[in-house]
Structures are given as C-alpha cells and as structure tokens.
C-alpha cells in the first residue's frame, strides 16, 4: 500500500548523459534518491560497510534540485529538466539504493509524461513493477535477490568474487566495471584481460569521470 502523502528524499536531480553501461551516452535525467541499505554514507563507518569502495555521495537532500518531494512535485521536477517538446524522455533512478523509495506510483506517473524508466540498483530489494530498464550492480557481501534484468554491472575486482556465478543469471548484458581507486589502472587492465578471455562480458567505463561531467 502506497501512502498518499508519501515524501521522497532526493539527493539531486539533473540532466546529463548516462556515463556507463549499456546506455552510455544517452541523455538522461538522473534522480538520485538519498540513503542506501548497504552503507550509511558516513566516512567514520566506511571501513565496516559492505561496499567500502562506494564513490557516491547519497546522504541528505542538499544536491542540485535535491529536497523532500511529494509525488506530483517530483514528477514535475523531473519532467521540467527535459528539453521542452522533445521526445526520447529517459529517467534513471539511482542512489544510494533507489528501491528503498521508488514505487509503482512514481513509475506510473513519470511514464505518463512519456519517460522510459531505468533503475540502477544493488539488487538486494524486490523491484516495483513497470521499470523499463533494470541495471543491477551486485555487491559481493550482500544477498542478491534480483536475478534478472537488462544489464548486470559488476565492479571489479571485489574480494572473493566469482564472476562465472553471475553468468548463470538472466541478464541481457554482462558488464565488468573497473574499481575506481588508487589501483584503477591495474583494475582496468585486469578487467580487460578478463573480458578478452570471457567474451560474454563487456567492459564498462565510467566515462563521466574522464569527461568531467556530472
């Protein structure tokens, strides 16, 4: 049951290009929800977080267009960022973990405005209905429950990860994305080596980082 007076906590909303994965280069409104179930986002707790390598600031509502939104206001804000009278509307709900807040009401409403709806999730929570593009980025120490979708994007390497296990899952596209840390060059080389030996996989790069776009 969805509460009529539900309020969504949103870190930021902005128009950009999808920087990684299958939809790289696609104009998209990014709606980043606040909060994540795998880390509280506090630096002091990073070491004990499931994904201590997280590179996203998802706490609070203080980013561009961030705030506490009611359903109608959130949908209108997302729509207002798309070029007027232009088609191909595409919204990416991300986080943090977007599925903590994204629900079928919001999906239905934004689709009425003509948007295709994508989500980038860690795959630990059941998905609401009506999502057009599901991208799952599993984290090795968490329990993956979303085992099908459009793309799976694995940050690589993660300690004790067995990529061949993910190959059994029901996704259309399999991506490895080099872990962005002080060893990023080595991580990229390892990722490329893995993809060349295991061509079910493709390399995903975080192009927005070197293009220096948000």
Interface with ligand SF4 includes 8 (CB under 6 A)?
no
State the minimum distance, in angstroms, from the CB of residue 51 to ligand SF4: 3
**Can you tell me the distance from the alpha carbon of 45 to that of 105, in angstroms, rounded to the nearest whole number?**
34
To the query of whether residue 165 is one of the catalytic residues in this protein, the response is no
Selected from 13, 20, 75, 97, the binder of ligand SF4 by CB under 6 A is 97
**Can you tell me the distance from the alpha carbon of 110 to that of 117, in angstroms, rounded to the nearest whole number?**
8
Interface with ligand SF4 includes 11 (CB under 6 A)?
no
Q: Is 58 or 171 the residue whose CB approaches ligand SF4 more closely?
A: 58
Catalytic residue among 51, 124, 174, 188: 51
Q: Is 63 or 95 the residue whose CB approaches ligand SF4 more closely?
A: 95
Selected from 10, 13, 31, 51, the binder of ligand SF4 by CB under 6 A is 51
Cα of first residue to Cα of last residue in the chain, in angstroms, is 35
Interface with ligand SF4 includes 16 (CB under 6 A)?
no
Interface with ligand SF4 includes 34 (CB under 6 A)?
no
To the query of whether residue 30 is one of the catalytic residues in this protein, the response is yes
Catalytic residue among 16, 103, 173, 208: 208
The closest alpha carbon to 183, from 147, 145, 155, 213, belongs to 155
Catalytic residue among 54, 103, 132, 173: 54
Interface with ligand SF4 includes 10 (CB under 6 A)?
no
Tell me which DSSP letter residue 114 carries: T
Q: Is 26 or 56 the residue whose CB approaches ligand SF4 more closely?
A: 56
Interface with ligand SF4 includes 110 (CB under 6 A)?
no
Catalytic residue among 12, 33, 36, 58: 36
Residue 72 has a CB neighbour count (10 Å cut-off) of: 9
Identify each DSSP E strand in the chain by its residue range. 7-17, 27-33, 67-70, 90-94, 116-121, 133-136, 148-156, 170-178, 201-203
The closest alpha carbon to 157, from 139, 173, 178, 141, belongs to 178
Write the CB contacts of 170 (distance below 8 Å, at least 6 apart in sequence). 147, 148, 149
Question: Residues in the site for ligand SF4, rule: CB under 6 A?
Answer: 36, 38-39, 51, 54, 56, 58, 95-97, 122, 139
Catalytic residues, by residue number, are: 30, 36, 51, 54-56, 120, 208
């Amino acid at each position: 049951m969805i509460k009529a007076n539900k309020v969504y906590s949103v870190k930021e909303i902005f128009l950009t290009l999808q920087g990684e994965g299958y939809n790289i280069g696609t104009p998209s409104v990014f709606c980043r929800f606040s909060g994540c179930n795998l880390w509280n986002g506090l630096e002091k707790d990073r070491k004990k977080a499931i994904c201590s390598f997280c590179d996203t600031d998802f706490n609070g509502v203080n980013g561009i267009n961030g705030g506490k939104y009611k359903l109608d206001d959130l949908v209108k804000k997302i729509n207002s960022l798309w070029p007027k009278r232009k088609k191909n509307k595409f919204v990416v709900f991300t986080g943090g973990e977007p599925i903590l807040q994204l629900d079928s009401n919001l999906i239905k409403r934004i689709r009425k405005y003509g948007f295709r709806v994508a989500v980038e999730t860690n795959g630990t929570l059941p998905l609401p209905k009506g999502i057009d593009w599901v991208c799952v980025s599993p984290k090795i120490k968490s329990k993956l429950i979303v085992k099908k979708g459009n793309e799976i994007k694995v940050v690589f390497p993660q300690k004790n990860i067995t990529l061949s296990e993910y190959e059994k899952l029901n996704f259309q596209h399999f991506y490895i994305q080099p872990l962005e840390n002080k060893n990023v060059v080595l991580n990229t080389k390892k990722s490329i080596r893995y993809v060349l030996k295991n061509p079910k996989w493709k390399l995903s790069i975080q192009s927005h980082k070197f293009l220096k776009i948000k």
